[in-house]
Every structure is written in structure tokens, then in C-alpha cells.
């Protein structure tokens, strides 16, 4: 006997899934979130917590603008989360640096930012600083830093508290988050709706399904007729013991968590599903940190880890509606923190196809089919 519900089911209880769930709940929908096992890849539990626009979408205007929309929406979103969950996600948007020790890389990034500024128009607010400019503005920067960019809108949150705040907010709004519910297959039903087969053998039915399962979406996306192939990209990170005083900067590779620990990261590697931390990268990250800010040298690393970014073929978000199976949606991106305010608001309008639907055509997965054809 099939039990049909009118709920929208979100597959994936990470930052993306919970943000989408929150948006749908705010729009008055009934929502159920299915989350997998504690041991899943879970990019949401290994990330850096940046709210970052610098350089993003320099060669893809829709992404540059979408990211800028998100940066602008963050303060109100953080307030909303606090109201719903009682949790302060420690939003801090002091502007962010990108430090360089190689002049060629510095010049290349300068060109990218100039290109991005064309897309953003008046909204682009950044400056390029020489090493000496930087050192005169901020004490403690190492002599080997040749320059930095500084963008006024960038910031960060406490990513772990953000995840918890999202989960609590979804629950406060009446969303049902079910953990340990790994979806192993999705079967579109002949008369509409979907059967979700769980790993433990249970089957759930839903009218609409939004796939936000990160790397877990690979086979499920095929079940729904999507062609997007996500791939894992390994990022390695270090976290230090907590400091009582504050680092004088936020950068894309070195940031101090509100609780005091310094996170160091930003590496990229293709290692399949292997998320082990490696000695060469750990020491490179440490080397980078003490090069940028030598006073960090006696601060102890408490833990290193690897986490897998969820990358679409071109690295940009994918927002796709299944043409084959109406009611099925695919949402995937690697900037689940930065884009969360949009995922928790206007993306719901797009899913519900209201009159306020944002223009998201550029993020459809048909772009991959086209590039194949070309």
C-alpha cells in the first residue's frame, strides 16, 4: 500500500540541502530532509567557512553576480538563522585578502579581478596592494609576501555552527530531518512522484524531490535523468590551538575561527574519494602560514584533515529541473556556505516556479551538453 505525502523531499542534509529545505519551509512548504551516514564524505563538515566573492566568476558573469547577491544577503540571513535557531554563526565580513609570494601569480590574479569587476560594475570593490603597502598597513606580514588583493565584501562564518544552526532552523520551521537515511536509488513513478529506496530497504514516496547530496548525488542524478557528473576535489586543512588574540586579517588561505583556532587551507588535488591528509601538503600549508605571518611559527597544529569539494565539470553551481521527470531537481555546488542565503530564499521560488523565480537559466546543466557538442 503506497502512502503518498505532499511533502518535498530533500536528499542530503548538508549545507546545501538544509539551506534549500529552509527556503522551502519559509515559502510554506512541507519538507522532509533525508541525510546519510556519519561516515559519508560530508563536505559540510570539513570546509573553511569562507563567504567569498574575490575572483569568483571572472570568466562567467552569472556566477560573479550570483555570488555578489549572496554576499549582500548574508547579514540578514545570519539574523534570520539566529532568530530561528538561537545560534550565532559568527558572521564577520571585514573584507578579505589573497596573499601572494609569487609575482606572476599576483599579476595573473590581478587580471582576473579586473575581468570580474567588469561583470560586477559598481558592486566590485577591491584593491591591489604591493608587499610594502601591505606591510605598512599591517604589522607582522612576512617579508616574502609580494602582494595581496583585498576585497571589501568577503568574510567568513563558523562553518560548524552554521551547519548546526541550519539544522535547528529547519527543525524549528517544522521540517523533518531524518539522519542515517541513505538513499540508494530513486525510482520515478509512472503516474508522477518518486519512490526513494533507502539503504536499509525501506521505500519512501514523495511528490517532489530535490537532490542535494553532494558527492552522493552521482548515481542518484542518473536515476532522475540528469547528466551532471560531480567529481571530488581534495582540499587539505590545518587547524591550530586556539589563540586569545585576533589575527589582523582574513584571507582565503588563513583565517581565525571565532573560537580562536587558526585554520589554514586552500589546496586542491584530485585524489578520487581519498580524503587523507598528506605530509607534503601539511608542511606546505604550514610553510605558507609562517611565510605570510611569521608569528604563527610557535602556534601548534592540533589537527590536519582532508575534505572533498563537490565540483561540477566547470566548477560552477548546477541548478537543474528534470525535463524527463517533472518534480525532480538537482542542486549542487561547492560554495555551499557563500551561496546559502540564496539557496534558502530565491532558490525556493525557482523550485516552486512562482512569479518571483530568479533567472537561473545560466546554471542549468544543459551547458555541459552544449560544450560537449561544441
Cα–Cα distance between 177 and 166 in angstroms, integer?
Answer: 11
Decide: is 189 part of the binding site for another protein (CB under 8 A).
Answer: no
Q: Closest CB to another protein among 125 and 164?
A: 164
Question: Which has the closest alpha carbon to 96: 247, 281, 270?
Answer: 247
Which residue in the set 242, 326, 354, 369 belongs to the binding site for another protein (CB under 8 A)? Answer: 242
Q: Closest CB to another protein among 289 and 318?
A: 289
Distances in Å between the Cα of 182 and the Cα atoms of 24, 34, 65, 322 are 21, 7, 34, 22
Site for another protein in 131-150 (CB under 8 A): 139-140
Distances in Å between the Cα of 177 and the Cα atoms of 117, 173, 328 are 40, 11, 19
Decide: is 177 part of the binding site for another protein (CB under 8 A).
Answer: yes
Q: Which stretch binds another protein (CB under 8 A): 113-121, 272-280, 322-330, 363-371?
A: 272-280
Dihedral of alpha carbons 342, 348, 349, 350, sign: positive
Burial profile 66-104: b = 16 or more Cβ within 10 angstroms, e = fewer? bbbbbbebbeebbebbeebbebebbbbbebbbbbbbeee
Site for another protein in 281-310 (CB under 8 A): 281-291, 295-305
Which residue in the set 179, 185, 199, 273 belongs to the binding site for another protein (CB under 8 A)? Answer: 179
For every residue of 83-127, DSSP letters joined together read HHH------B-S-EEEEES-HHHHHHHHHHHHHHHHHHGGG--EE
Question: Which has the closest alpha carbon to 238: 46, 1, 35?
Answer: 46
Q: What element of type H or E holds 187? A: strand 183-188
Question: Which has the closest alpha carbon to 362: 24, 16, 60?
Answer: 60
* HSE-up of residue 26 (Cα within 13 Å, Cβ side): 22
Q: Which stretch binds another protein (CB under 8 A): 262-270, 319-327, 329-337, 343-351?
A: 262-270
> What's the distance, CA 299 to chain centroid?
28
Decide: is 222 part of the binding site for another protein (CB under 8 A).
Answer: no
Decide: is 227 part of the binding site for another protein (CB under 8 A).
Answer: no
Which residues on neighbouring strands pair with residue 98, listed in sequence order? 149
Q: Print the binding letters for residues 36-55 with another protein: x by CB under 8 A, - otherwise.
A: -xxx--x--x----------
Which residue in the set 259, 314, 359, 361 belongs to the binding site for another protein (CB under 8 A)? Answer: 259
Decide: is 200 part of the binding site for another protein (CB under 8 A).
Answer: no
Which residue in the set 26, 90, 117, 168 belongs to the binding site for another protein (CB under 8 A)? Answer: 168
Q: Closest CB to another protein among 14 and 155?
A: 14
> What's the distance, CA 214 to chain centroid?
10
Q: How far is the CB of 90 from another protein (least distance, A)?
A: 13
Decide: is 167 part of the binding site for another protein (CB under 8 A).
Answer: yes
Decide: is 266 part of the binding site for another protein (CB under 8 A).
Answer: yes
Q: Print the binding letters for residues 101-120 with another protein: x by CB under 8 A, - otherwise.
A: xx------------------
Q: Which residues bind another protein (CB under 8 A)?
A: 35, 37-39, 42, 45, 101-102, 139-140, 160, 163-164, 167-168, 171, 177-180, 238-248, 253, 259-260, 264, 266-268, 277, 279-291, 295-305
Amino acid at each position: 500500500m503506497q502512502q503518498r505525502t505532499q511533502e518535498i523531499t530533500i536528499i542530503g542534509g548538508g549545507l546545501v540541502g538544509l539551506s534549500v529545505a529552509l527556503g522551502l519551509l519559509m515559502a510554506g512548504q512541507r519538507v522532509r530532509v533525508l541525510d546519510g551516514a556519519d561516515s559519508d564524505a560530508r563536505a559540510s563538515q570539513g570546509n573553511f567557512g569562507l563567504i567569498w566573492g574575490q575572483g569568483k566568476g571572472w570568466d562567467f558573469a552569472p556566477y560573479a553576480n550570483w555570488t555578489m547577491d549572496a554576499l549582500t544577503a548574508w547579514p540578514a540571513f545570519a539574523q534570520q538563522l539566529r532568530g530561528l535557531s538561537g545560534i550565532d554563526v559568527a558572521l564577520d565580513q571585514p573584507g578579505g585578502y589573497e596573499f601572494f609570494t609569487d609575482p606572476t601569480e599576483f599579476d595573473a590574479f590581478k587580471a582576473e579581478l579586473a575581468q570580474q569587476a567588469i561583470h560586477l560594475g559598481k558592486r566590485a570593490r577591491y584593491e591591489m596592494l604591493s608587499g610594502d603597502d601591505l606591510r605598512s598597513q599591517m604589522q607582522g606580514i612576512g617579508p616574502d609576501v609580494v602582494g595581496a588583493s583585498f576585497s571589501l565584501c568577503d568574510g567568513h562564518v563558523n562553518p560548524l555552527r552554521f551547519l548546526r544552526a541550519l539544522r535547528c532552523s529547519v527543525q524549528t520551521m517544522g521540517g523533518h530531518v531524518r539522519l542515517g537515511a541513505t538513499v540508494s536509488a530513486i525510482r520515478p513513478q509512472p503516474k508522477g512522484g518518486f519512490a526513494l529506496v533507502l539503504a536499509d530497504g525501506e521505500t519512501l514516496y514523495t511528490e517532489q524531490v530535490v537532490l542535494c547530496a553532494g558527492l552522493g548525488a552521482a548515481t542518484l542524478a542518473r536515476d532522475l535523468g540528469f547528466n551532471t557528473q560531480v567529481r571530488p576535489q581534495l582540499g587539505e586543512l590545518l587547524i591550530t590551538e586556539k589563540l586569545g588574540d585576533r589575527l589582523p586579517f582574513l584571507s582565503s588561505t588563513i583565517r581565525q575561527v571565532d573560537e580562536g583556532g587558526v585554520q589554514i587551507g586552500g589546496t586542491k588535488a584530485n585524489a578520487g574519494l581519498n580524503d587523507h591528509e598528506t605530509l607534503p601538503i601539511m608542511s606546505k600549508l604550514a610553510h605558507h602560514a609562517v611565510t605570510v605571518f611569521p608569528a604563527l611559527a610557535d602556534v601548534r597544529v592540533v589537527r590536519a584533515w582532508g575534505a572533498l569539494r563537490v565540483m561540477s565539470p566547470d566548477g560552477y553551481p548546477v541548478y537543474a529541473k528534470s525535463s524527463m521527470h517533472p518534480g525532480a531537481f538537482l542542486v549542487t555546488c561547492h560554495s555551499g556556505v557563500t551561496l546559502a542565503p540564496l539557496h534558502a530564499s530565491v532558490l525556493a521560488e525557482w523550485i516552486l516556479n512562482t512569479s518571483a523565480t530568479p533567472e537561473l537559466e545560466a546554471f542549468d546543466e544543459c551547458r555541459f551538453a552544449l560544450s560537449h557538442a561544441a
